[in-house]
Structure 1
Amino acid sequence: MTIPPTGQIRDPAAETAWNEPAALVTAMLNPAMIATLLSTAADAYTHRQTSGMPWALSFIAAPMALHQGTRSALPASTRTHLSTWISRHPVLWAGFPRRAKVMVAPVRAGLRFALRHNVLELHHDCLKQADQPRNEPPENTEMHDILRSARLIGAWMADNETAAIFAGLGVEP
């Protein structure tokens, strides 16, 4: 321990433990990570709707895929309709508008990164995954879980009207 000029005791080990959650959040909100997540969601969306994923849905996909509680509650497939799933998980959606609002700046940064680095392409207000080789993350990692969730969310959103998705989640584009 060191004693700074103010006379307060400073313990570097305690500071490291306090800063670890902040470091994890920073890593999760990394523009490259969000670009990868959005690319995965857009690819799944495009497999069902060839026009591509409306870019506004990026602000739905990211908060859903990055929130661990939401990921844990997602069904195994899209056989469960999105509106049915939302009605079965009211506690998750009570906090969704706040989570989505907090994610606006990181999602914008992720979109800029994705477009600048040719991870995504923008066609008539819709996003499509750029044709480039992709490496899948190792299984049993949080990144693998996030991308698996992003695939499901992208496919789910393709089966619903954009306005209905925003209304069902209690947010506005």
Structure 2
Amino acid sequence: MAEHRHFTRPWRERPLEEAAHFNPAFCGELIARTLNGYCKQSRTSLPFALTFLILPLALHPGTRRALPRKANTAFASWAGENADVLSTVPDRVLHLRPVSREALLFLSQLGAIRVDSDGVSLGEKPLSLTAKPAVSTDEVDEIRRTAGLLGRWFAHQSQSGAVLQTTGVVLQTMGIRV
């Protein structure tokens, strides 16, 4: 549990690399990109529990590179071919849970998202994600593209519970109520 308390440190006490990759603005942007991709494919809210998969899948280089190139790939078949990659997802979900929560709260406070009993949907003031940042790296660009892909991919899956089960994520362990 010590690593979970690490994310409760004040930002000035965190390493610079951590501040760059795990700050609420960047992680919130990734969640917003996933939500935008999801909403373009589905007329429903993104299931709340799936928001906790975004950062562990998009930020981890090995997982990001193993993800399918097309959003219509069946999750179960992809998972069957990538069991080694998926074996570490539950730990990463637990480790990044505080970061995901902080990013969701940040987006909610901005009015960019709305969280209700149906899940997560675009808020009154969704983030504008069309402009390319003036300064970026290839890795960050890849992370951003992956976040959008995740939204489209999640929208093509029939049940969010099956996605969570396939990744080995147990909601009770995460402390998430759906």
Q: TM class, shorter-chain normalised?
A: 0.7 to 0.9
Tell me by how many angstroms 1:155 deviates.
1.2
Is residue 115 from structure 1 mapped to residue 112 from structure 2 by the alignment? Answer: no
1:162 aligns with 2:152: no
8 A Cα contact 1:65 1:149, kept in partner:
yes
- TM-score normalised to the size of structure 1? 0.80
Matched length: 153
Alignment-derived partner of residue 65 in structure 2: 72
Structure with higher Rg: it is 1
Deviation at 1:119, TM superposition (A): 2.3
Letter in 2 for 1:155: R
Instruction: Determine if contact 1:37/1:150 at 8 Å carries over to the other structure.
Output: yes
Shift of 1:140: 5.6
Q: Post-superposition shift, 1:117?
A: 1.2
Structure 1 vs Structure 2 CA RMSD: 2.0
Distance in 2 (alpha carbons) for counterparts of 1:118 and 1:82: 31
Structure 2 residue identity aligned to 1:147: R
What is the correspondence of 1:83-98 to structure 2 with a 5 Å cutoff?
A: 83-98=76-91
Alignment correspondent of 2:142: 145
Overall identity of the aligned pairs, in %:
26
Secondary structure of the residue aligned to 2:43 is coil
Distance 2:97 2:128 in 1: 28
Whether contact under 8 Å (1:45, 1:53) holds in the other structure is yes
Offset of residue 54 of structure 1: 1.5
| Mapping of residues 54-65 of structure 1, within 5 Å | 54-65=47-58
Deviates more, 1:100-109 or 1:65-74: 65-74
Cα distance in 2, alignment partners of residues 143 and 118 from structure 1: 24
Task: Give CA-to-partner distance per residue, 1:101-124, whole Å, 9 cap, x none.
Answer: 101000000000010012222354
Q: TM-score, normalised by structure 2?
A: 0.78
What is aligned with 2:132?
A: 136
**Matched residue SS, 2:30:** helix
| 5+ residue gaps, structure 1 | 1-21
Which of the residues 2, 19, 30 maps onto 1:37? 30
Contact 2:76 2:166 in 1 (8 A): yes
Moved more, 25-34 or 137-146: 137-146
C-alpha distance in structure 1 between counterparts of 2:102 and 2:71, whole Å = 29
8 Å CA contact 1:114, 1:120 repeated in 2: yes
How far the C-alpha of 1:46 sits from its partner, in A, is 1.1
CA distance in 2, matches of 1:132, 1:61: 17
* Residues in 2 aligned to 1:150 and 1:129: alpha-carbon distance in whole angstroms: 15
Where 1:171 maps in the other structure, the secondary structure is coil
